[in-house]
Amino acid sequence: MERQQQFWNPYVAGVALGLVLCATFLIMGNGLGASGAANRFAVAALQVFAPHHVAQNNKMATLKADRPSLLDNWLVFEVLGVILGGGVAAYTAGRMRPGVSKGPRISVPLRLVFALSGGVLMGIAARLARGCTSGQALSGGAVLSVGSWVFMFAVFGGGYALAYFVRRQWT
């Protein structure tokens, strides 16, 4: 087995990430995001099975309105890039392999249940806050939006408050 490359120094990674973010601001007048595109994928998928239901739901219908296709959107393309970039980075560092990231004290199925339920919470939270850690905390935070900073501290607050109760997952 090829040896894995080490992770980048966090400050170097931070500067690189910041430069990408800044380029996104200046070139596109947009921030980086993840949950917005996820929302679009979800509604687009639902539309295949229950178009009537999508048309009747206020939140989903307004999302549809601006362009004929839900997926014809900046964020969707950006997220495709994220998946591609993450994959290439993992592959070239020798970290591309199927697995589950967890601590030794928890079983794989239970860990997946946790991952799913946490994901559901985040899906709701990201819509409520108009963005997730990428779109709201990172992008909005860097342009000094008040709401984004409130959100960012709340994320850390929520994480630390609950960390003790789910420690068996990780340690």
Partner 1 sequence: MSFPITSLIAEHRELGLVVAVLLGFGFGFTLERAGFGQARKLAAQFYFTDMTVFKVMFTSIVTAMLGVLLFSGVGLAELKVVGQSVASATYLWPMLAGGLLLGAGFIISGYCPGTGLVAAASGNLDGVVAIAGVLIGSLGFAEIAELWPAFSTFYLSGDKGQWFLYELLGVPAPVLGLAITAMALAMFIGAEKVEQIMARKGEGEDTAEVSPTARGARRLAFGALAGTAVLTLGTLALPSHPKAAVTKTVATVDQQAFAQRLLDEPWSVRILDLRAEKACKERRIPGSECTPRETVGKLGLAYTAGVKDLVLVDEGKRREVPQAVLQYPGKVMMLEGGFPGWKRYALTPPKAPGPDASAAKREAYQFRAALHAAMLGAKPPAPPPGGTKRYVPKPKKKKGGGCG
- Restricted to residues 96-135, the positions that interact with partner 1 (CB under 8 A) are 96-103, 111-112, 114-135
**Would you tell me how many other CB atoms lie within 10 Å of the CB of residue 30?**
13
Question: Quick one: which of 51, 69, 105, 167 contacts partner 1 (CB under 8 A)?
Answer: 167
Min CB(55)–partner 1 separation in Å: 12
Determine, following the binding rule CB under 8 A, whether residue 4 of this chain makes contact with partner 1: no
CB-based contacts of 25: which residues, under 8 Å, 6+ apart? Answer: 31, 139, 142, 143
Does 26 participate in binding partner 1 (rule CB under 8 A)? yes
Residue partners of 112: CB distance under 8 A and separation at least 6? 100
Do residues 18 and 39 touch, judged by C-beta distance below 8 A? no
Q: Which residue has the tokens 């959107």?
A: 73
**Token pair recorded at residue 40:** 């679009």
Q: Which of 60, 84, 57, 80 is nearest to 70 (CA)?
A: 60
In whole angstroms, the minimum distance from the beta carbon of 81 to partner 1 comes to 2
Q: Which of 51, 55, 69, 88 binds partner 1 (CB under 8 A)?
A: 88
Q: Which of 48, 49, 52, 65 binds partner 1 (CB under 8 A)?
A: 65
The verdict on 70 binding partner 1 (CB under 8 A) reads no
Question: Is there binding between residue 162 and partner 1 (CB under 8 A)?
Answer: yes
Residue 46 engages partner 1 in binding (rule: CB under 8 A): yes
